[in-house]
Structure 1
Amino acid sequence: MASPSDRLLRRLEWRLGRRLDGRLQGNYRTVWHGAGVDFTDLRLYAAEDDVRHIDWNVTARLDEPHVRQYTEDRELTAWLVIDRSASMRFGSGAGKESTATELAVSIARLISRGGNRVGAILFDNLSHQVIPPRAGRDQVLRITRELLLPAPKAKPGRTTDLSEMLRLAAATTAKRRSLVFVMSDFIGEPGWDRPLARLNHRHEVVVIRVVDPAEVVLPDLGVILVEDAETGEQLLVDTSDPLLRDRLADQTAAREEELAAGMRRAGVGAQRVTTDQDLMAVLVDMVGRSGRRR
């Protein structure tokens, strides 16, 4: 009998095949490819060459201008940095954690199809797990298995330190320029924009912000008991109260603007994904954006 991770991966592979085959271009066989370059040779400078490629040490020794030649690094190393804190377990329907899991597995499988390596950093308030990058379907299955395991239950009262998550990502991925996917709801301590900017300076960073519709528009459910998933604080509220709804709408708008400003400071554009979206449509959009950038 197939394991839950194998069943999930097979289902997503089938959906990926239907929606994304034909969009993979060139010899890379994937929509993302390595951003680095490898030095291969030296040759005499020609008038059309980029002067930035002149090797001044060789030019001085030989008394003739020489330029460096490079080949593009087609091997890609990708990292999935996934927030698994308490707030990610909130959600109506699929929920944010489930949405992030399916999207992460789909991205991992899509990238690994080109023979590229994928690793993962799973972060929560209590601990973290680093899965070193490897190629192949078995690696994607390993990441899937770990994502399907329940995250440790944190003690109430501590909000997520997103800065710590991003610093961990920077330290883990420091050896090689990589493509880094950061998946989080960005509910946590402020100040994450600086470590995100440092991570973006070193790598190509794709931020995926996972949002549940109930976080944006409060559903009218009458009087209910709500609990802060991060701190454990509970409060009895009347969701039909128009004043309360207006106040929450203003707070939501202010938070959205604050998040957008943080992303701008970090030099990153965030892909906003809601739990009720078609995730394959999200991937198709990401593929299109990657193609336009390239």
Structure 2
Amino acid sequence: MCAFLRGGGHSRGGARDARKRADRKKPRSNEPNGDAGMLPAEILQRVRRLEIHTKALVSELFAGQYHSVFKGQGMEFAEVREYVPGDDIRTIDWNVTARLGVPFVKKYSEERELTVFLLVDASGSQRFGSEGRSKMELAAEVGAVLAFSAINNHDKVGLLIFTDRTELLIPPRKGRAHGLRIIREILYNRPEGRRTDLAAACETAIHALRRRATVFLLSDFLVDPGPVDQPLGALARKHDLIALAMRDPLEASWPKVGLVEWEDLESGRSFLVDTTDAGVRGKLEANYRRQREQVAAMLRRHKVDQVPLEVGGDPVEPLQAFFRLRERRRARE
């Protein structure tokens, strides 16, 4: 049923057009320099336009919010000093205390450097879009905003593109050139897989990230939550996990356009749907809502914030709303 839901609303023509848009060169080497000089001028122009657009968003709309929301969420060890009355006994360093014979406590300082990690779903369903762009293109724009925010704050940023396999893994690093490469890869990467294995992607991210990071998971989440529950929970416990859910309105509300042949972009299966039948449309839409509710329940269970982003909408407002929510939450802590 999940494969059917992923194909829901994806017409054969729309799927073919989406495949043409995605028909680009295969992923390049994971080495930092890659073969950027071989990129077509069209792709370089797209990256440049996206850079100009997102840099304006970062400087004008997210000024200060990124820093206040995500900076200093972790603590790193600084030194030990002798215990004084009033110190929290939970900070006592028992090894040093035993060695010196007097109590010593550990001192911590706020981490000055943040690691941002983009976990991007590039499966077939992400190539669908009914509002002038695909969910993958929306993910690229949002990923660019987050990457430039990290760059402007001198943070590290990394990328994992996945389908039912790891398509590309770029370890977190600093620098504008590195950030531009990440944006280029989201735009230009041609995945070999079509299906989704979100559980495996979560496990890969856990092994790839040695230090605590802020992980943005960009996906349409059209998956069976059962196999995903445990690895996603493990990722959320180890890192600050935020789910950015790509949505297309056509998937939630089917149009009344007669008898149509649809194709599942992940399995390649096609089937006929009579969209004039209100009962058929109602069943498909109910299945879609139920699947969304199951995923939302899983995210709540693991205390993962979910930010819904619509393909036809502007991602700025929901991102700002999320930043404001995080600020209020931190103020109460």
Name the TM-score, length of structure 1 as normaliser: 0.90
Which segment drifts farther, 250-259 or 80-89? 250-259
Partner of 2:61: 19
User: CA shift at 1:235, angstroms?
Assistant: 1.4
Structure 2: distance between partners of 1:192 and 1:124: 14
The structural deviation recorded for 1:267 is 3.4
Deviates more, 1:193-202 or 1:272-281: 272-281
Identity %: 35
Checking the alignment, whether the CA contact within 8 Å between 1:193 and 1:265 is kept in structure 2 is no
Alignment correspondent of 1:83: 121
1:161 maps to which of 197, 200, 218 = 197
Code of the aligned partner of 1:285:
A
Q: Is the 8 A contact 2:47 2:184 kept in 1?
A: yes
2:136 to 77, 97, 114: 97
Of 42, 46, 51, the match for 2:80:
42
CA shift digits 1:67-94 (9 cap, x unpaired):
1111111101111000001010111122
Of Structure 1 and Structure 2, the greater helix share is in: 2
* Partners of 2:167 and 2:192 within 8 A in 1: no
One-letter identity of the residue aligned with 1:52: R
Which residue in the other structure is 2:30 paired with? Answer: none
Once the two structures are superposed, what CA deviation does each residue of 1:25-66 show, in whole Å capped at 9, x if it has no partner? Answer: xxxx56422433222222232332111101122223333322
- Cα distance in 2 for partners of 1:63, 1:154 equals 60
Give secondary structure in 1 for the equivalent of 2:276. coil
CA contact (8 A) 2:164 2:198 kept: no
Matching residue's letter, 2:136: E
What are structure 2's unaligned runs of at least 5 residues? 1-40
1:107 aligned partner: 146
Q: Does 1:147 align with 2:183?
A: no
- Contact 1:32–1:111, Cα closer than 8 Å, also in 2: no
Q: What is the alpha-carbon distance in structure 1 between the residues aligned to residue 272 and residue 57 of structure 2?
A: 42
- Poorly superposed stretches of 4+, deviation over 4 Å: none
- TM (norm. structure 2) is 0.80
2:162 to 101, 123, 147: 123
1:286 and 2:322 correspond: yes
Q: Tell me, what secondary structure is at the counterpart of 1:192?
A: helix
Q: Is 1:212–2:219 an aligned residue pair? A: no
Q: Distance in 2 between matches of 1:84 and 1:56?
A: 48
Once residues 182 and 166 of structure 2 are traced to their aligned partners in structure 1, the CA distance between those partners, rounded to angstroms, is 17
- For 1:10, which of 52, 75, 92 is the aligned residue? 52
Structure 1 portions without partners, runs of 5+: none
Cα distance, 1:260 vs structure 2: 2.0
Check conservation: 2:140, 2:183, Cα contact below 8 A.
Answer: yes
Aligned to 1:272: 308
Matched-pair contact (CA < 8 Å) for 2:167–2:191:
no
1:58 corresponds to which of 82, 89, 96: 96
Q: Distance in 2 between matches of 1:148 and 1:212?
A: 19
Counterpart of 1:191 in 2: which secondary structure? helix
The DSSP-based 3-state class of the residue aligned with 1:3 is helix
Where does 1:132-281 land on structure 2 (aligned, <5 Å)? 132-152=171-191, 154=193, 159-173=195-209, 175-189=210-224, 190-281=226-317
Q: Which amino acid counterpart does residue 143 of structure 2 have in structure 1?
A: A
CA 1:257–1:66: 2 relative to 1, 3 Å: same
